[in-house]
Amino acid sequence: MKVLVVGAGQMGGGIAHVAALSGDEVTLLDREQRFVDGAIATMRKNLDRGVEKGRVTPQDRDAALGRITPAAAWREFDVDVAIEAATENEELKRDIFRKLDASTPERTILASNTSSISITQLAAVTKRPERVIGMHYMNPVPVMKLVEIIRGIATAPQTYETIRALAVQHGKTPVEARNYPGFISNRILCPMLNEAVFALQEGVGTVESIDTVMKLGMNHPMGPLELADFIGLDTLLAIMEVLVEGYGDPKYRPCPLLREYVDAGWHGRKTGLGFYDWRGGERRARTDLTASGVPAFSGDGTAAPSGASAQAPAGVANGAR
C-alpha cells in the first residue's frame, strides 16, 4: 500500500517507521526538510537498536529505510491512504485536510492521528467525508500495540475495514471508539494526568512522590507526571481544552500550573524541561522548583538560589483552582 504521512514529529516519524517496516511505500511530508531528515535519522537509530536486539534483521531494516520517500512541499500525491500526524490543533488539522483533499486522488482515504478532535469536523472540510477516519496511534508508535479507530458520522464501512486491516498490518490491535472528545484513551487518561498536576500545585505531594505512588501503588509502569512530560505538556493542555469545550463540564478544566508550564516553554521531554529535567537525554529531578512545582522565592520576593527551601506563592500552595 502507498501511504502518505503528514508530519515528521514524534508521532509521524513513528507511524512512518511501522508502515515502512510492514511493507508500505511511505512518503513522509513536513514543511521543512530538516524535520523529515530528523525523523528518518531517528527511525534509523531505532531500527539499528532493533537489529542489535535481534527483533529486526539487517535486511528488513535496510528495506524499510528504502521504502521512505522524503518530501518538504505540497504536490500531487498518488497514495492509497494519507495519515495526518500534525500538532493537536484543530485549525491546523483542518487546513491539512483541505490540502489533502486537493492533493490526493478521490480514492485516497484520509486518516487523522488526532487524539481528541472530532473526525466529523475534520471530514466536513473535504469533499469525501465517507473516506475520512480517525487512526489514533499511541506513543511511542513502534512499541505501543494499540490503535484507536474513530468513524465520523459519514465514514463508510469500507473505509473502516480498510483502516482496520492496515492497523493489523502495522502490528497493532485496532479498537473502535465513538467520535466523542478524547475518544476512549484520552477521555480517561488526560484527566488523570491533569489531576496529578493539581495534586502537585496544591502541595499534596512532590513530583517524585506523586509518580512513586502511582507506580508502586497502582502498578503503573510510569508515573503520571513523567508520562505527561513524555506526551508533551502542550499536547496535554490542548487535549484538556478540547475536553472542557466539548463536554462543557468544569471537571475537565486544565490545571493553571499546567498552563503556566506550557506558557514558559516547558513542554516536557521534547524541550528538555517539564516536571522533570530531561536535558542531556536522561530524566533528573528539577532542583529549581519548590515541592509545589513552582520557582522558589526568598522572603524578599526575589528568586531563591536553585535548590533552596522556600514556600510556594499562597494562591498556588493553597490549591487555588
At CA 302, angle to CA 299 and CA 306, rounded to 5? 95
Total of domains in the chain: 2
Judge if pTM exceeds 0.85.
Answer: yes
CB 40 within 8 A of CB 68: yes
Q: Which residues are annotated as catalytic?
A: 115, 136, 148, 186
Which pLDDT score is estimated for 97? 98
Going by the DSSP 8-state scheme, the letter that residue 181 receives in this structure is: T
Which pLDDT score is estimated for 314? 32
Quick one: 124 and 229 in the same domain? no
Domain assignment present for residue 319? The answer is: no
| CATH code for the domain in which residue 12 is found | 3.40.50.720
Burial letters for 11-42: b for 16+ Cβ neighbours within 10 Å, e otherwise? bbbbbbbbbbbbebbbbbbbeeeebbeebbeb
Quick one: 213 and 171 in the same domain? no
Which pLDDT score is estimated for 317? 33
Label the pairing between strands 146-151 and 132-137: antiparallel
Quick one: 61 and 193 in the same domain? no
Quick one: 206 and 242 in the same domain? yes
Domain that holds residue 105: 2-177
Quick one: 173 and 191 in the same domain? no
CB 28 within 8 A of CB 12: yes
Q: Which residues sit opposite 175 in a β-bridge?
A: 148
Picking from 177, 199, 233, the residue at the C-terminal end of a domain is 177
Quick one: 77 and 213 in the same domain? no
List, run by run, the mean pLDDT of 10-residue segments along the chain (321 residues).
97 98 98 97 97 97 98 98 96 98 98 97 98 97 97 98 98 98 97 98 95 98 97 96 96 98 97 96 90 68 40 35 47
Label the pairing between strands 2-6 and 81-84: parallel
Quick one: 163 and 19 in the same domain? yes
Nearest partner of 79 among 121, 33, 25, judged by Cα: 25
Which pLDDT score is estimated for 295? 77
Quick one: 51 and 105 in the same domain? yes
Domain assignment present for residue 127? The answer is: yes
Residues 6+ apart with CB under 8 A from 138: 144, 145, 146, 147, 185
All three cell numbers of 41, joined, read 535519522
Which pLDDT score is estimated for 297? 60
Domain assignment present for residue 94? The answer is: yes
Quick one: 124 and 207 in the same domain? no
Quick one: 120 and 201 in the same domain? no
Picking from 115, 150, 177, the residue at the C-terminal end of a domain is 177
| CATH code for the domain in which residue 259 is found | 1.10.1040.10
